[in-house]
């Protein structure tokens, strides 16, 4: 019996980690494993999932310092083979991509010789930050005169939607019904082929809407009995299964990175964009000095307002508190809450992801507003 894989994708800060964390708390009748991918060199999302995984006895595997779509052969396949070696201990796998990753290379990898006898794609879930869509952020990116910025922001978002089985509108708690309707309309404008669109209050989604959907065939492979739903778009037309990464990957169509046309799309295209497009950058700032919670939120907001930062996240040691402050920011929306477990260190780290951001400027703003030294 093959093990189902649920792939969870979505742009920076959409709420993928929160959604998976909530699923881990709800699913008690399955033995799960989690793979989390982070663009930065410091694992923030992995540490947030660690406690839930530990409480449920769920294996957690991390792929850091790059997008999973660029490291399918080097990191993703070996992790999956590692899990397959003990697959009698796992009933379902949840894979969280980074916010800059494209899902199609991961989907294709599940059809390669190394993995296809052990796994099948259950569903691709794309988590959407509803307020960010309503702000017109992705529409602005597509209208940008910078070709690289256009494809790197609006293009990635569209690609994540294009191959989704389930789109989850997240962060809707404070939205009125007309805004919810408008957010759904915008998503459908971006991707008219969306099959299922669900709402998530507080990042919670019913497991029945995210696991066990079997939207890409049967656990026994092609031609088996049971429910079989054809996938729309390029995924359905792609040559699956295949023994290895194809030399001609023109089936990865409909997307471009930087100055590359869609017909040039390949694993090399992913490598080129993330490795050589100096626009997208991730850097981590640190301090050994305790912080003030209000000042750190103000400082992060100022950095995101001044610099082209799309995402910030991290753990901050606050004076007089035993547990670290978890900071999550999307653009200038900054949220913070205290973790339930100690980090075991008085150090603070914040990861910033943006397009042509300046590390020195960000450090200077943090240092000035908090009155402490960030580097």
Average pLDDT on 262-278 reads 41
- Please state, in angstroms and rounded to a whole number, the distance separating the CA atoms of residues 137 and 114: 39
- Using CA atoms, how far residue 139 sits from 9, 150, 155, 175, 187, in Å, is 19, 9, 10, 20, 11
Question: How many helices and strands in the chain, by DSSP H and E?
Answer: 14, 12
Instruction: Convert the pLDDT of each residue in 114-130 to its tens digit.
Output: 999 999 999 999 999 99
At the second CATH level, the architecture of 3-273 is 3-Layer(aba) Sandwich (3.40)
**Residue 231 pLDDT:** 40
Instruction: Convert the pLDDT of each residue in 22-31 to its tens digit.
Output: 999 898 889 9
Cα 21–chain centre separation: 13
**Tokens for 363?**
């450090």
Euclidean distance between the first and the last CA atom of the chain, given in angstroms as a whole number = 51
Instruction: Convert the pLDDT of each residue in 295-311 to its tens digit.
Output: 999 999 999 999 988 88
- Please state, in angstroms and rounded to a whole number, the distance separating the CA atoms of residues 304 and 310: 7
- The residue ranking higher by pLDDT, 139 or 74, is 74
Beta bridge partners, 312, equal 329, 352
- Using CA atoms, how far residue 335 sits from 86, 130, 170, 301, 323, in Å, is 38, 16, 15, 10, 16
3-state secondary structure at position 304: helix
| CATH for the stretch 280-370 | 3.30.1220.10
Which of 174-183, 216-225, 307-316, 328-337 comes out lowest in average pLDDT?
Answer: 216-225
**Residue ranges of domains in the chain:** 3-273, 280-370
- Using CA atoms, how far residue 337 sits from 52, 334, 349, in Å, is 16, 10, 15
Indicate the DSSP class of residue 221.
B
Average pLDDT on 87-106 reads 88
Which of 19-28, 289-298, 303-312, 334-343 comes out lowest in average pLDDT?
Answer: 334-343
Q: Alpha-carbon Rg of the chain, whole angstroms?
A: 20
Instruction: Convert the pLDDT of each residue in 196-251 to its tens digit.
Output: 899 998 888 889 888 999 888 656 544 333 333 334 333 333 334 445 544 443 33
Cα 9–chain centre separation: 5
- The residue ranking higher by pLDDT, 213 or 262, is 213
Does residue 78 carry a pLDDT above 70? yes
Does residue 313 carry a pLDDT above 50? yes
């Amino acid at each position: 019996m093959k093990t189902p894989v649920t792939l969870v994708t979505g742009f920076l800060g959409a709420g993928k980690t929160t959604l998976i964390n909530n699923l881990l708390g709800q699913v008690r009748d399955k033995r799960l494993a989690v793979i989390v991918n982070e663009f930065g060199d410091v694992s923030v999302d992995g540490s947030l999932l660690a406690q839930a995984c530990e409480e449920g006895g769920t294996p957690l595997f991390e792929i850091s310092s790059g997008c999973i779509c660029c490291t399918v052969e080097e990191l993703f396949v070996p992790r999956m083979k590692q899990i397959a070696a003990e697959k009698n201990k796992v009933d379902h796998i949840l894979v969280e991509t980074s916010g800059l990753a494209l899902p199609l290379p991961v989907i294709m990898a599940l059809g390669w010789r190394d993995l296809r006898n052990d796994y099948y794609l259950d569903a691709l879930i794309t988590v959407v930050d509803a307020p960010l869509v309503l702000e017109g952020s992705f529409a602005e990116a597509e209208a940008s005169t910078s070709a690289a910025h256009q494809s790197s922001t609006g293009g990635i978002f569209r690609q994540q939607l294009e191959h989704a089985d389930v789109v989850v509108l997240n962060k809707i708690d404070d939205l009125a019904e007309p805004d919810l309707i408008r957010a759904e309309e915008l998503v459908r404008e971006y991707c008219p082929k969306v099959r299922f669109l669900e709402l998530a209050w507080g990042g919670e989604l019913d497991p029945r809407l995210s696991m066990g959907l079997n939207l890409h065939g049967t656990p026994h492979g092609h031609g088996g009995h049971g429910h079989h739903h054809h996938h729309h778009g390029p995924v359905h037309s792609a040559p699956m299964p295949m023994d290895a990464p194809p030399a001609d990957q023109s089936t990865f169509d409909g997307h471009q990175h930087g100055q590359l046309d869609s017909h040039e799309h390949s694993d090399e295209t992913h490598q080129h964009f993330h490795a050589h497009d100096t626009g997208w950058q991730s850097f981590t700032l640190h301090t050994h000095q305790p912080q003030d919670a209000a000042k750190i939120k103000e400082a992060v907001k100022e950095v995101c307002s001044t610099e082209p930062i799309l995402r910030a996240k991290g753990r901050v040691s606050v004076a007089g508190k035993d547990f670290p402050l978890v900071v999550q920011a999307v653009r200038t929306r900054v949220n913070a809450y205290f973790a339930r477990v100690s980090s075991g260190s008085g150090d603070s780290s914040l990861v910033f992801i943006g397009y042509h951001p300046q590390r020195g400027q960000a450090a200077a703003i943090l240092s000035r507003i908090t009155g402490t030294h960030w580097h």
